[in-house]
Structure 1
Amino acid sequence: MTAPLHEARTAGSGGARATGPGRALPDTQQGMRRRNLARVMHTVSAGGPVSRAAVASRIGLTRAAVSTLVDELIRWGLLDELGPERPGRVGRPGSALAVSGHGPAGLGAEVGVDHLAACVVDLRGEVRARAVRHGTNRGRSPVPVTRELTALIRQVVAEAEGQGLWPAGLAVAVPGLVARDGRTVVRAPNLDWHDTDLGPLLPAAYPLTVDNEANFGALAELWLGEGTPRDFLHVSAEIGIGAAVVVDGQLLRGTRGFAGELGHVPVQPEGPACPCGGRGCLEQYAGEEAVLRAAGLEPAGDRVGLLARRAAGGDEEVRRALSAAGTAFGVALTGAVNLLDPEAVVLGGALAGLAPWLLPSLEAELAGRTAGPVCPVSVSRLGPEGPLLGAAHSVVRAVLDDPAAVAGHG
Structure 2
Amino acid sequence: MTARLTSRSSTPVRQSSVRAHNLALVLDTVANSADPPSRASVAALTGLTRATVSALTDDLIAGGLLVERDPPPRTGAGRPAAGLALTAAGPAGLGLEIGVDYLAACVVYLTGAVRQRLTEHADQRPAGPAAALAALGRLGARARLAAEADGLVIAGAALAVPGLVSTGLIPAGPGAAGPSGPGAAGLVRVAPNLGWQDVDAPALLRGVPELADLSIAVDNEANLAALGELRVTGGNPDFLYVSGEVGIGAGLVIDGELYRGARGWSGEIGHVTVYPDGRPCRCGANGCLEQYAGQEALAADEPLAAAALGIALAAVVNLLDVPVIVLGGAYAPLFDRLRDGIEAELRRRVLTSGLAPVTLRAARLGAEAAVRGAADAVIREVRDDPARWLRRTA
Q: TM-score, normalised by structure 1?
A: 0.85
Q: Tell me if structure 2 keeps the 8 A contact 1:323–1:360.
A: no
Contact map agreement 2:39 2:54 (CA 8 A) in 1:
yes
Alignment of 1:306-321 (within 5 A): 321=301
2:14 counterpart of 1:28: yes
> In the alignment, which residue of structure 2 is the partner of 1:391?
374
Selected match of 1:334 from 302, 307, 314 = 314
Letter in 1 for 2:286: R
Relative contact order (alpha carbons < 8 A, sep ≥ 6): 1 or 2 greater? 1
- Please tell me whether the aligned partners of residues 26 and 42 of structure 2 are also in contact (alpha carbons under 8 angstroms): yes
Contact 2:2/2:24, CA 8 A, preserved across alignment = no
Q: Which residue of 1 aligns with 2:296?
A: 289
2:285 partner SS: coil
Kept after mapping to 2: 8 A contact 1:140/1:191: no
Structure 1 residues 74 and 196, CA, compared in 2 at 3 Å: closer, same or farther? same
Residue 12 of structure 1 corresponds to which residue in structure 2? none
Task: Give the distance between the partners of 2:142 and 2:237, measured in 1 at CA.
Answer: 35
Partner Cα distance (1:105, 1:37) in 2? 18
TM-superposed CA distance for 1:167, in Å, is 0.9
The structure-2 alpha-carbon separation of the partners of 1:238 and 1:195, relative to structure 1 and needing over 3 Å to count, comes to same
1:114-263, aligned counterparts within 5 Å? 114-179=101-166, 180-203=183-206, 204-225=212-233, 227=235, 229-263=236-270
Question: C-alpha distance in 2, partners of 1:142/1:57?
Answer: 52
**Structure 2 portions without partners, runs of 5+:** 5-11, 167-182, 207-211
Q: CA deviation at 1:44?
A: 1.5
Shift of 1:138: 2.0
For residue 92 of structure 1, report the CA deviation from its aligned partner: 2.9
In the TM superposition, what is the alpha-carbon distance from 1:45 to its structure 2 partner? 1.7
Contact 1:76 1:408 in 2 (8 A): no
Figure out how many residues of one structure are paired with residues of the other and give that number. Answer: 361
Once the two structures are TM-superposed, the CA of residue 199 in structure 1 deviates from its matched residue by: 2.1
Q: CA separation in 1, counterparts of 2:199 and 2:63?
A: 37
- For the residue of structure 1 that corresponds to 2:213, the secondary structure is coil
Output the CA distance in 1 between the equivalents of 2:234 and 2:335: 18
Distance 1:66 1:37 in 2: 9
Paired with 2:373 and 2:74, the residues of 1 have a C-alpha distance of 37
Structure 1's 27 and 175: CA in aligned 2 closer, same or farther, altered over 3 A?
A: farther
Report the 3-state secondary structure (helix = DSSP H, G, I; strand = E; otherwise coil) of the residue aligned with 1:33: helix
The residue type equivalent to 1:213 in the other structure is: E
Which residue of structure 2 aligns with residue 81 of structure 1? Answer: 68
Structure 2 residue 87 is matched with structure 1 residue 100:
yes
**Secondary structure class of the residue paired with 2:282:** coil
Q: Following TM superposition, by how much is the alpha carbon of 1:49 offset from its aligned partner in structure 2, in angstroms?
A: 2.1
Q: Give the fraction of aligned pairs with identical amino acids, expressed as a percent.
A: 49
Aligned to 1:378: 361
SS at match of 2:347: helix
